[in-house]
Chains A and B, each alone.
Chain A
Amino acid sequence: DIQMTQSPSTLSASVGDRVTITCRASQNVNRWLAWYQQKPGKAPDLLIHKASILKSGVSSRFSGSGSGTEFTLTINSLQPDDIATYYCQQYNSSVYTFGQGTKLEIE
């Protein structure tokens, strides 16, 4: 299986900050990568697919970049509603795998 590693595991930031989460794949996944936001007690919510394509209706404060084995999710002008855990997921192989998650907290 392709292993997905996110960093950091926990991120503390202030309202208005720009934050970046990194996701690394154990092998090349091209641009077949998605990002999700999950709030407590809820299912994950798709934010970005194919590494950088924003799902319709998602705030433009979110952006994704990268290809191959290294990817980033950036959130501009952090808002209190962004408090959640964020996951990356690769779909380059027929066994879909997720990162372990990055928990975003407000300072």
Chain B
Amino acid sequence: QVQLQQWGAGLLKPSETLSLTCAVYGGSFSGYYWNWLRQTPGKGLEWIGEINLSGSTNYNPSLKSRVTISVDTSTNQFSLRLSSVTAADTAVYFCAGLRLGEFPYWGRGTLVTVSS
């Protein structure tokens, strides 16, 4: 059974860089694409981007200029960096495993608040 555990800073100031990490336990790390999504009351669920075992990435064009997703296969972890954050980036961020296009595995979510 695949389980995802995520962590990272929950309070940022405008212009700082958001940094979150997700560790994958159980199952096959190589069998999935590893994703980041976020959720706000206003915009709902928004897909941020994904990475596979070989490091190939795919980002949402709306965030692409500020997003970097990386993977560490030695520890079965993947990370999100979102630069130059503003209040609009305040959200609950989820890591998730993608199978054929659906997300069967999710982390618990991390509330990230951007405030001066």
Binding site for B on A (CB under 8 A): 32, 34, 36, 42-46, 49-50, 55, 87, 89, 91-92, 94-101
Q: Which residues of B contact A92 (CB under 8 A)?
A: 101
Q: Which residues of A contact B44 (CB under 8 A)?
A: 87, 98-101
A89 in contact with B102 (CB, 8 Å)? yes
Nearest B residue to A46 by beta-carbon distance? B104
Among A36, A55, A96, which residue has its beta carbon within 8 angstroms of that of B101?
A96
Contacts known (A49-B100, A49-B102, A101-B44); A43 close to B107, Cβ less than 8 A? yes
Nearest Cβ on chain B to A47's Cβ, whole angstroms:
10
A44 in contact with B47 (CB, 8 Å)? no
Contacts known (A87-B45, A95-B60, A100-B44); A43 close to B102, Cβ less than 8 A? no
Segment 49-77 of B: residues with Cβ below 8 Å from A: 58, 60-61
Chain A CB within 8 A of B94 CB: yes
Taking chain B's interface residues, is the majority helix, strand, or loop, or is none over half, making it mixed? loop
Binding site for A on B (CB under 8 A): 44-47, 58, 60-61, 94, 96, 99-104, 106-109
Among B94, B103, B109, which residue has its beta carbon within 8 angstroms of that of A46?
B103
Q: Which residues of A contact B61 (CB under 8 A)?
A: 95
B104 in contact with A55 (CB, 8 Å)? yes
Q: Which residues of B contact A46 (CB under 8 A)?
A: 102-104
Pick from A44, A55, A96, A97 the residue with the most CB of B within 10 Å. Answer: A96
The CA-CA distance from A26 to B105 in the complex, in Å, is 27
The CA-CA distance from A97 to B101 in the complex, in Å, is 11
20 additional A-B pairs beyond A43-B107, A99-B44, beta carbons within 8 Å, are A34-B101, A42-B109, A43-B108, A44-B45, A45-B106, A46-B103, A49-B99, A49-B100, A49-B102, A87-B44, A87-B45, A91-B102, A92-B101, A94-B58, A95-B47, A95-B61, A96-B101, A98-B44, A98-B46, A98-B47
Contacts known (A95-B60, A96-B47); A44 close to B106, Cβ less than 8 A? yes
Nearest Cβ on chain B to A33's Cβ, whole angstroms:
9
Among B60, B103, B109, which residue has its beta carbon within 8 angstroms of that of A34?
B103
